[in-house]
Amino acid sequence: MLSILGFLTIIVFTILVMLRKMQAFTAIIFVPIVFAVIGGFGSQIGEFAAEGILLVSDTAVLLLFAILYFGIMMESGLFDPVSNAILKIAKGDPVKICMGAAILAILVALDGDGTTTYMIVCSAMLPVFRKLGINPLILATLAIMALGIVAGSTPWGGSATRAISVLGLDASEYFLPMLPIMAGGIIWTLITAFILGRMERKRLGLTNEQLRQEVKTQEETASTAQNAVQARKWVIYFNLFLTLALMALLIADIIELYILFIIGFAIALVVNYPNLQKQREVMKEHAANAIPVVSLVLAAGIFTGILQGTHMVDSMAEDIVSVLPDNFGSFYTVFIALIGLPLSWLMSNDAYFFGALPVLAEAGNVYGVAPIEVARASVIGQTIHLIGPTSAPLWVLIELVRTDLGKLQKFSIIWIILSALVMILFGLLFGGISIG
C-alpha cells in the first residue's frame, strides 16, 4: 500500500509539473500531503514537514547568499577583463576564439544561472563568431556544456542544489569529491572547443588579411569595453581576490559553505556599494532571482519529509531492488549516472530530483551505496537536460543564436554524451563515485 502511494505521489507530481498544470512549488507541497492523508497520516503531516525542512535549511541559506554574491560579481564586471583578454589573444583564429568562449562560459557558469550565463557569453562572443562566420551552434554547445558541468555540479547550482536538499546531505561533503569530476568535464569542454575550432578553421579557410581585419575589430571592441570599467578597476581586482579567497576556503573545508557566502556577500555588498540606499536596491534586485529558488528548496524539504516520515520511500526502494539482479549493486552509481541521461532529458529538474532521485537513493541503500554517491552520480548527466524541452533557459539561448531546437540538439548531443562518460570515468578514478 505504501509503495503504491509513493509511486502515485511521484507520478502525479511529475505529470502536473511536466504538463504545466501546477508550478513545481505548489505541486511539491500539495501532492505528498494529499497522498499522506489518503494513507492515514494526516495528523503527522506537520511533524514530517518540519523534519524535512530542517534537512534542507542549510542548503536554502547557501543558495540564497550564493545567488546574491554572484549577482554582485556579475554586475560589477568581474569577468569583463577575461572577456577582453580573450578577444585580444584570439587574433581572429577560430580555435582560439572557441577556446576563449569555452573558458569564459566556464567562469560565468559559476553564477549558477542558465539565462545569465547564456546572455553574458553570447553578448561577448556571438558578434565575433558571426563576423568570422564561425557556426554559432558551437558557441551554444560550449555554453551548454559549461553550464551543465559547472553550475550543475556546484552546491549553489540548480541540479546539485536539488539533489543535496532532497536527500538532506551536507553540501561540503558532497562538493569536495565532486571537484575532480567537474575537472574532467571542464577538460573535455576545452578539448571539444579545440576540436570544433579546428574544424571551423579548416571549413572557413580564412586568409591572413581576413585574420588581420578581425584582430583590429576585436581590439577596438576590447578597448571600448575596457574604458567602461577603468574607473572601477580596483573594485574588480578586489572582487577577484575575494572570489578566489572564497574558493580557497571552500576547498580547505574549514567553515560551512553557507557561512562563507553569507560573509562573502556582506563584504562584497559594502565594498561594491558603499551607499546604504544602493545596498538596499541591490539586495532587492538580486533577491528577486534568489527567493523563488530558495522557496522551492524549502518546499522540497516538505516533500522529502513526508515521503520519508511515512516510509513510502522505503517501500518503493524495496520493490525496485526486488526486481534487480543480485549482483547489480556493484555498478549502481554508474547505473544512476547513465539512467540520468534519458530521464533528465525527458523530465524537468524538479520532476527528476524531487520525484525519482529519493527512490533511487533509497534503493541504493539496500546495496550499501551511500546517498551522497547517488547524488553525485545523478548530476553527472545533467548537461543533457539543458537541451531537453523542459529547460527554460534553452529557449533564451535558441533565440540568441537564432537557431531551432532540432538543429541545436543534433549538433550538441554527441559532445554532451561524451562529457557525461568522461565525468563518470573521472568519478571512478578519483573516488567521487565507486564500483563494488
Residues 293-306 pLDDT 10s: 788 778 888 888 88
User: For position 228, what pLDDT does the model report?
Assistant: 47
CA–CA gap between residue 177 and residue 434 (Å, rounded)? 11
CA nearest to 110, candidates 296, 240, 255: 240
User: For position 216, what pLDDT does the model report?
Assistant: 58
Residue owning grid cell 567521487: 432
Torsion, CA 86, CA 91, CA 96, CA 99, rounded to 10 = 20
Tell me if 126 sits within 8 A of 136, measured CB to CB: yes
User: For position 428, what pLDDT does the model report?
Assistant: 92
Q: Which residue has the higher pLDDT, 343 or 160?
A: 160
- Winning range, highest mean pLDDT, from 24-33, 123-132, 382-391: 24-33
Please report, for residues 71, 113, 293, 395, the alpha-carbon distance to residue 269 in angstroms, rounded to integers and kept in the order given: 10, 20, 21, 32
Instruction: With both helix axes pointing from N to C terminus, report the angle between 357-366 and 332-346 in degrees, rounded to the nearest 10.
Output: 170
Identity of the amino acid at 24: A
DSSP annotation string for 152-210: TTSTTSHHHHHHHHHHT--HHHHHTTHHHHHHHHHHHHHHHHHHHHHHHHHHH---HHH
Comparing 41-50, 51-60, 76-85, 340-349, the range with the smallest average pLDDT is 76-85
User: For position 210, what pLDDT does the model report?
Assistant: 56
**Is a pLDDT exceeding 90 seen at residue 109?**
no
CA–CA gap between residue 288 and residue 283 (Å, rounded)? 9
Tell me if 333 sits within 8 A of 339, measured CB to CB: no
Q: Which residue has the higher pLDDT, 315 or 230?
A: 315
Q: If you average pLDDT over every residue of the chain, what do you get? A: 82
CA–CA gap between residue 334 and residue 339 (Å, rounded)? 8
HSE, side-chain direction, 13 A CA sphere, residue 70: 22
Share of the chain above pLDDT 90, in %: 21
Residues 190-214 pLDDT 10s: 999 999 999 998 888 755 555 556 5
Residues 50-76 pLDDT 10s: 988 887 788 788 778 877 887 788 777
Residues 367-423 pLDDT 10s: 888 899 999 998 987 888 888 766 767 777 887 788 877 788 889 989 999 999 999
Region 244-260 average pLDDT = 81
- 168 grid coordinates: 538532506
Please report, for residues 261, 339, 353, the alpha-carbon distance to residue 29 in angstroms, rounded to integers and kept in the order given: 28, 26, 15
Comparing 26-30, 100-104, 273-277, 304-308, the range with the smallest average pLDDT is 304-308
**Dihedral sign (CA 176, 181, 187, 190):** negative
CA–CA gap between residue 180 and residue 417 (Å, rounded)? 18
CA nearest to 22, candidates 405, 384, 354: 354
Phi and psi (nearest 5°) for 310? -85, -10
**Dihedral sign (CA 326, 329, 335, 340):** positive
- 435 grid coordinates: 564500483
Q: Which residue has the higher pLDDT, 15 or 44?
A: 44
Burial class from Cβ neighbours inside 10 Å (0-12, 13-18, 19+) for residue 311 reads: middle
Tell me if 182 sits within 8 A of 432, measured CB to CB: no
**Is a pLDDT exceeding 60 seen at residue 219?**
no
CA–CA gap between residue 184 and residue 420 (Å, rounded)? 9
User: For position 59, what pLDDT does the model report?
Assistant: 75
Taking the whole predicted model, whether its pTM rises above 0.85 is answered as no
Residues 96-107 pLDDT 10s: 889 989 998 998
Region 164-172 average pLDDT = 84
Give the largest Cα separation in the chain, rounded.
77
- 104 grid coordinates: 569564459
Name the percent of the chain in helix, strand, coil, to the closest 5: 85, 0, 15
